[in-house]
Amino acid sequence: MKKIILSLLIFYSAKALTLDEAIDTALKNNKELSSYRQQIETAKLQLQADKSLYFPTLYANVSEKIYAKTPMTGIPNFPVSFKQSNKEYLSFNVGFNQPIYTGGFTESKIEVSKYNLKASEYLYKEKENQLKADVIKAYIDVFITSSLVEIYKKELQAVESIYKQAEGFFQAGLITKVDVLQSKVRLAEVKRNLQEAQGNYKIALSRLSQLLGEEIKDENFQPVNIEVKDLPDLDTLVETAYKNRKILDFYRESINQAEKIADIEKSAFFPKVFVQGDYIYTNQSPYLYPKGNFLLTVGASIEFQGKLPYYKVLQAKSNAQKIRYDLQDTKEKIKLEIKTAYENYITAKENYKVALESLDYAKEYFEMVKQQYENQLATNTDLLNAESSLTRAMESKEINYYNLIKSYIDIKKAIGEDLR
């Protein structure tokens, strides 16, 4: 099938809003997307913080202690005693504690932060592409409603012309008062349709403004060319989506994260080996020399509360399984999303083809009836019906034209393709 290039056209000025500008504005102003960006920054900081677990812990303590009475040590059976400690003394120590083995805690904690960062980035990309799709479709909706306003304006001109012509024929005695009233009723219907179309245009502007995060007034919009290409078969589209969709990558990274959290909880069952170095100074005892000294400690410790780590491990594994179910469920939803978008695309494509043919027929029919009416070979009702058919055909062409583009955008979004 040949490529179809659809151009969305509207009058525009040098200051016209472009689609790229609309997308950039939305990406900048959208509060939900800003929240996800901040979440990425938080994840980056958490990763840097966890990497510091490899470094030693530095500490320093200083204290001044004062007894109410000077502690004394007596010797049994001898009337002799000496000071056990000064009544007032200073204590100071500075040192470090370097973990040697943590049972996998440190490594797993860092891996958890890495997976969390990747998951946050994938989720941001998914939400970003969704916002792009929403902006593109809202931008197109502005063109749809604007085009319908122009169609009804042209219809209004045509019906006003028919009405004036009917009045002229009535004055000449060529038609009845009923024909004039019929034209007048049709004129009122067109005015009502025009007002409704103008209201829908304002709603479309409001929807676009909401997505962009700033007020978009009744301004000009620059045309945008969207190339609607041939699509592969449905199975290929689904396979592409499973590879490209960032929400699936988000769940995969979340599973890895949950499994590593289980490893963190397991580490509670393993001893923690450390090396500790201290410099200790105190003038507590008048008989203690030297008052300042260095101390090196190599030790191991293990600490856990009953079966708490065991259940924490089970909890983490259960959460990982839950995310696996979420992943499978999301895949099924994506598959249905693609099927729906694909069917909408096929339908829109056929509808647009039919709409083009119908428009050609409606134009030819209207011109024929108009000529016959001027020659008194067709009634006023025939002319109004022909005009109505032409308007409906033009309306159908515009709606199906834009629906085809929107369905194409839906497919591109569904398979995870970057929309810009």
User: pTM of the entire structure?
Assistant: 0.82
Tell me if 64 is assigned to some domain: no
Tell me if 194 is assigned to some domain: yes
CB burial of residue 303 (10 Å; 0-12, 13-18, 19+): exposed
Check if the beta carbon of residue 197 is closer than 8 Å to that of residue 149.
Answer: yes
C-alpha to C-alpha distance for 272 and 307, rounded to whole angstroms = 18
Average pLDDT over residues 23-32: 93
Average pLDDT over residues 57-69: 92
Tell me if 292 is assigned to some domain: no
* pLDDT > 90 fraction of the chain, expressed in percent and rounded: 58
Model confidence pLDDT, tens digit, residues 91-140 = 999 999 999 999 999 999 999 999 999 999 999 999 999 999 999 999 99
Residue (of 2, 44, 22, 3) closest to 224 by Cα position: 22
Model confidence pLDDT, tens digit, residues 238-286 = 999 999 999 999 999 999 999 999 999 999 999 999 999 999 999 988 8
Write down the pLDDT at residue 280.
Answer: 94
C-alpha to C-alpha distance for 411 and 403, rounded to whole angstroms = 12
DSSP letter string over 130-176? HHHHHHHHHHHHHHHHHHHHHHHHHHHHHHHHHHHHHHHHHHTTSS-
CA distances from residue 332 to 235, 247, 312, 338, 412 in whole angstroms, order as listed = 13, 13, 31, 10, 17
Which CATH number belongs to the domain containing residue 316 in this structure? 1.20.1600.10
Write down the pLDDT at residue 375.
Answer: 82
C-alpha to C-alpha distance for 318 and 312, rounded to whole angstroms = 10
Question: 225: pLDDT confidence band, cut at 50, 70 and 90?
Answer: confident
Write down the pLDDT at residue 164.
Answer: 85
Kindly report the CA angle at 191 between 190 and 195, in degrees rounded to 5?
115
Asked if the model's pLDDT at residue 39 lies above 90, the reply is yes
3-state secondary structure of 398: helix
Question: 176: pLDDT confidence band, cut at 50, 70 and 90?
Answer: confident
CB burial of residue 32 (10 Å; 0-12, 13-18, 19+): exposed
CA distances from residue 273 to 106, 260, 293, 299 in whole angstroms, order as listed = 12, 21, 24, 6
Residue (of 12, 28, 420, 413) closest to 212 by Cα position: 28
Model confidence pLDDT, tens digit, residues 148-159 = 888 888 888 888
Tell me if 102 is assigned to some domain: no
Domain around 264: 4-55+107-271+310-414
Asked if the model's pLDDT at residue 10 lies above 50, the reply is no
Would you call the peptide bond into 286 cis, given omega within 30 degrees of 0 as the criterion?
no
Tell me if 92 is assigned to some domain: no
Tell me if 351 is assigned to some domain: yes
Counting the structural domains of the chain, the total is 1
Question: 15: pLDDT confidence band, cut at 50, 70 and 90?
Answer: low
Q: What are the residues whose beta carbons fall under 8 Å from the beta carbon of 61, sequence distance 6 or more?
A: 91, 92, 93, 94
- Token pair, residue 90, equals 């200073």
Q: What are the residues whose beta carbons fall under 8 Å from the beta carbon of 84, sequence distance 6 or more?
A: 71, 72, 73, 285
Average pLDDT over residues 279-304: 89
Tell me if 280 is assigned to some domain: no
C-alpha to C-alpha distance for 129 and 121, rounded to whole angstroms = 12
Tell me if 286 is assigned to some domain: no
- Token pair, residue 414, equals 């569904």
For residue 6, the cross-strand partners are 226
Write down the pLDDT at residue 56.
Answer: 94
Q: What are the residues whose beta carbons fall under 8 Å from the beta carbon of 217, sequence distance 6 or more?
A: 205
Chain center to CA of 59: 44
Question: 356: pLDDT confidence band, cut at 50, 70 and 90?
Answer: very high
